[in-house]
Structure 1
């Protein structure tokens, strides 16, 4: 597990240094060197030009950071969580992310759609984008940042999806159920665009066409012990009228009801979940 974690951290640091170096150099040779290296990293030469500005109006991305207090060096720009989705595919994690802490106040952030409401429609209602990527030839083994997802109408009482961890390897996707931060992100607003509808199209079983982790409001669970203010009436209200706020929390800061301890976290990781953005299927 430490090998997987170190691989993910190393890719962050290497890419960050590489991109920073390219920004500091104005010569054409440095740009040529970067362009030559990007294919080796499974990245497009347009890597530095994501996200688009302005954002595509047809993508229902969460646009407002309601609260966030983490300050991870190199990944402390809160705007990265609302400025667009910049996935890098199956084998590489995006750098356009806001990193949460592993535990404590900085382990959570709250986003919104600027006062708009996410509707409950058929199928998945929203997608959480992190920067997981596959780290072996086995399709189930990923460097992941499991996050607990909760939604609210009033930013006071939150309801979640009663996530479950089987106790298996932290890098096996099927060890985790109903978490964010599990699946890689293929959607890139610059190099691999999709329509909002295409993002919610299933492919390869539980995977979405643009990647990320989808959530259906019909799966909200009043029995989730971590949702103190949630009850059947509130869930019915959210299912009927939608929600306005989403809270994303590094799993290591949340109690696993099956053990009484916090959910595990990859050994050696220096930060918590990495948030690239959230997209809703329909808004009102």
Structure 2
């Protein structure tokens, strides 16, 4: 039986302690006692993350530092600087509160970040990691409360290419149901309580899970055939692969068409907002 820590019940309880919680989702049939028991590690994790982010930011962590555009207005999570102020993961069983929440649909479902004019290089293997606030919701390690987001990149801020994400339709909470999305995996990296080096953040521990958590992307996997990237073609994709990117666009999957069905990608039932962005870290800049 799943016990969703992003349930409406737990959100109301959590509000009594720390005012608000992000990305609340309806509970399955978990009992009140189970929900209360599940709340304890959540509160502990939130408390341990409360001193994050640290200042100044670690110089070796190449975080996106500039909000180019953001228009969501989700109550208590509408400060877009939370997406560029540091990574404050809360671990496997809880989600960070230091996030900027996107809307489920509309213009506010998308935000664009940059590295202040610097370029993310295309290097060997993963080139950047996107951090959200997913966390495990059952004994099955593949089942998470997720906020899937579609990632697109650009070198000029106008023309974007993406990674042609796909959804299998098996289960909205199964990581394996989603391919080439961000917002799937939990964030272990916390700049205050669980620091890592830049090199550490790109270590794969199996199944596309990274040592510091989050979801990694390789520019070599850009797909100019992605039907959602009308402005992308082979020439642009190859230019990005050769010269790198300056901008990253993150959109709640619920606001993006699934080419397999012609409808928007599904969204976890009962969610009150879209993806929760904690930050993006590049592997190498120039």
Using structure 2 for the length normalisation, give the TM-score.
0.89
Q: Residue 207 of structure 2 corresponds to which residue in structure 1?
A: 205
1:256 to 240, 254, 258: 258
1:78 to 77, 80, 83: 80
Q: 2:2 & 2:76 partners in 1: Cα distance? A: 22
In the TM superposition, structure 1's runs of 4+ consecutive aligned residues that sit over 2 Å from their partners are 1-7, 9-21, 37-42, 44-47
Structure 2, unaligned runs of 5 or more: 21-38
Equivalent pair of 2:53/2:88 in contact (CA under 8 Å)? yes
Alignment RMSD: 2.0
- Give the secondary structure class of the aligned counterpart of 1:218: helix
Q: Residue 27 of structure 1 corresponds to which residue in structure 2?
A: none
Q: 1:39 & 1:94 partners in 2: Cα distance? A: 13
Q: Residue 96 of structure 2 corresponds to which residue in structure 1?
A: 94
Q: Residue 119 of structure 1 corresponds to which residue in structure 2?
A: 121
Q: 1:48 & 1:249 partners in 2: Cα distance? A: 26
Q: Which structure's residues are more often helix, by fraction? A: 1
Q: Which residues of 2 match residues 1-284 of structure 1 at below 5 A? A: 4=4, 6-7=6-7, 14-15=13-14, 17-20=16-19, 41-43=43-45, 45-284=47-286
For residue 148 of structure 1, report the CA deviation from its aligned partner.
0.2
- Give the secondary structure class of the aligned counterpart of 1:49: coil
Structure 1, unaligned runs of 5 or more: 22-36
Equivalent pair of 1:38/1:45 in contact (CA under 8 Å)? no
Q: 2:4 & 2:58 partners in 1: Cα distance? A: 34
Distance change >3 Å, CA 10–CA 212, structure 1 → 2: farther
Distance change >3 Å, CA 214–CA 13, structure 1 → 2: farther
Once the two structures are superposed, residues 228-252 of structure 1 have per-residue CA deviations (whole angstroms, 9 ceiling, x without a partner) of 1100000111000000000000000
Using structure 1 for the length normalisation, give the TM-score.
0.89
Equivalent pair of 2:41/2:93 in contact (CA under 8 Å)? no
